Amino acid sequence: MISPTPEALQSFLDELNGTMCDRTDWGRVADYIPELADVPVDQFAISVALPDGQVLSAGRNDQPFSIQSVSKVFTLACVLGRIGDQLWTRVGREPSGTSFDSIVLLEREKGRPRNPFINAGALVTTDALLERRMPRETLAELLHFLRGAAEDDDIHIDKAVALSEKSTGHRNAALAHYLASFGNLRNPAELTLGTYFHQCAIAMTTDQLARAGRVLARFPDAPMQLSPQRARRINALMMTCGHYDGSGDFAFRVGLPGKSGVGGGILIIAPGKASIAVWSPGLNNYGNSKVGTEAADHVARFTGWSVF
C-alpha cells in the first residue's frame, strides 16, 4: 500500500477529529493522580510528523498534556546511550501480562522487572540514569534530549503534577522499596521516586511529541539520531510491552510500536514513514487512552502503515 499524500492525510485527520469529538464514551481520566483527575475528558488531538519535516495535526494539538509513561521511552533511550547493554542485567525484555503498576512478578523473579515500561522496570531505568548524579542533572538530560528531538525548547515539567503524584504514589513507593530489598536500586528510593515522578510530569503537545518521536522513526533528516540497532530495539519493546497487558491487543489492532501514558497520550512509530502522537485523556481498562487507541486503529487502516 502506498502512503497517502499529505493532503489526503490532512483531510483524513480533520475527519477523524470530527468523528472522535462526536462520541459520548470517552473512558475515565486517571484519578489516582489528583491533578490528572481534573482534566476534562472530552478532548482529542492528533499529530503526524512526516519524513519531509511536515507535521500534520487536528484537534487540540497545541494543548500540553502530562506525558506520564510515554516518558519511559525517552528515559530508556538516554540510559542505553549512557550504559548500553548493562541495563539488561537489571531489567528484562519480555511482556509482563500484568498491569503497569503490578508487583506480583517481582517477588517470583527476584526483583528483576520484566521490561522497562511497567512501573517497576521504569523505576530501575530511571535509577540507572540517576546513578552518580543529582535528580536535577538527570531531569535536565532528559529534557535536553526531548527538546533537541522535538526542536522545541518550550517543553517543561509540570511540578504540580509531580507533587500530586508524589503525595499519593504509595504503589510506586512500594515498588521502589521492594526493588531496593533485592539490591536493584543504586540510589536512595526517595531520590529515584522523585526523579521518576518528575519525568512522568513532563508536559507536551501532540505536535511536540510527534516531533520528538522522529528519533525513533529513523527519519534521515531528524535533528537527533539513535543508532539503527538502538531505535529498532526500542521499537520492538514498544510493540511487545508499550501498552502493558493491552500490548497484544494494540499490536493486533494497530500493528505499530506504541507507548501509552495515563495522561492519555500515545506515541506511535511507523518506522521510516511517520511519528504519530495522539491524546485523549479518558482511559480504557488497561490504563491506556480509550479514544487514542481507537484513533490509532483508524490511522493504521487508512494509511496501511502497519508493519505486518
Shortest reach from residue 133's CB to ligand DON, in Å: 21
Would you call 196 a catalytic residue per the annotation?
yes
The reply, when asked if residue 32 is annotated as ligand binding, is no
- How far apart are the two ends of the chain, measured CA to CA in Å? 12
The reply, when asked if residue 196 is annotated as ligand binding, is yes
Toward ligand DON, which CB reaches closer, 130 or 222? 130
Would you call 262 a catalytic residue per the annotation?
yes
Toward ligand DON, which CB reaches closer, 255 or 292? 292
Would you call 69 a catalytic residue per the annotation?
yes
Shortest reach from residue 292's CB to ligand DON, in Å: 10
Toward ligand DON, which CB reaches closer, 83 or 173? 173
Toward ligand DON, which CB reaches closer, 101 or 297? 101
Shortest reach from residue 27's CB to ligand DON, in Å: 12
Would you call 159 a catalytic residue per the annotation?
no
How many CA atoms, within 13 angstroms, populate the side-chain half-sphere of residue 274?
29
Which residues contact ligand DON (rule: CB under 6 A)? Answer: 68-69, 100-101, 119, 165, 172, 200, 260-262, 287-288
Which of these is catalytic: 69, 96, 275, 289? 69
The reply, when asked if residue 69 is annotated as ligand binding, is yes
Catalytic residue annotation = 69, 72, 196, 244, 262
